[in-house]
Amino acid sequence: MHGHAPRKRFGQNFLADRHYVERIVAAIDPRPGDNLVEIGPGLAALTGLLIERAGSIAAVEIDRDLAARLREAFPPDQLQLYEADALAFDFGLLGPDLRVVGNLPYNISSPLLFHLAAFDVLLRDAHVMLQREVVARMTAGPGTPDYGRLSVMLQIRFAITRLFTVPAGAFRPAPKVESAVARLVPLGTARPRIDDPALFARIVAAAFGQRRKTLRNALSTVVSVETLERAGIDPGARGEVLSVDAFIRLANCAATPP
């Protein structure tokens, strides 16, 4: 730990196993000149190798003590450091073709993924390490227990692949759960057309708000039964059985009155 006491409020669990450090960097495959940003570099387990491969990177670190260590370890021409909360950071400042890397804190993983999704047009890809259960939700399909709001809201923007798991023992301190590394690649021109993104988000949130409710009841304040039927969706079905395409079809029907 190099004398650093992990801070629970920042969800700090530091990757310490060289095997997994090298495996993650190999999956990212950084190249000289890549526009890389690391979220939460912490004790720099990944940072040094990323700089070695790419030449220089940017990083966002909220912990002022760790930020001071990073400034001592890497000169500004190698590490452009932003001392900030990644949840509020404007990734647009870093320019296009951005490659995001991060061992994301478990306590803010979903909000941070939603925040990153807002910058999808600027991203080339993102490689993130998260709680294994979160990655299962990100990649889940309809009709499975892990399928939910996170699945739908990310899959409309990204192709998501689970790469490999990382055991708890690879971290210091060891968390109580296993982790997994996921790759997110923006869909770009293949991204589906959604007429009213805010309405789409409301429909998805309501559909999964109370999973045992039928869509007729779960969406009663958002869309009518007639709209469900016009979209070819059974009002008696539950949200967990609807595909991403079905949610898009429903939202677009709701956005365009007959």
Residue 11 in this model has a pLDDT that exceeds 60: no
CATH number at 197-255: 1.10.8.100
Q: From CA 3, how far away is CA 118, in angstroms rounded?
A: 36
Using the predicted structure, report yes or no on whether residue 187 has a pLDDT greater than 70: yes
Question: Which CATH superfamily does the domain covering 8-189 fall into?
Answer: Vaccinia Virus protein VP39 (3.40.50.150)
Q: Is 33 left (phi over 0), alpha (psi -120 to 50) or beta?
A: left
Q: What is the average pLDDT across 42-53?
A: 92
DSSP 8-state secondary structure symbol assigned to residue 44 = T
Q: What pLDDT score does 12 carry?
A: 54
Cα–Cα distance measured from residue 73 to residue 43, given in angstroms and rounded to the nearest whole number: 10
For residue 173, whether the previous peptide bond is cis, meaning omega lies within 30 degrees of 0, is yes
Band of residue 10 on the pLDDT scale cut at 50, 70, 90: very low
Out of 4-18, 89-103, 193-207, 229-243, which region has the weakest mean confidence (pLDDT)? 4-18
pLDDT digits (tens, 9 = 90+) for 198-231: 999 999 999 999 888 999 999 999 999 999 999 9
pTM for this predicted structure: 0.92
Map out the domains of the chain as residue ranges: 8-189, 197-255
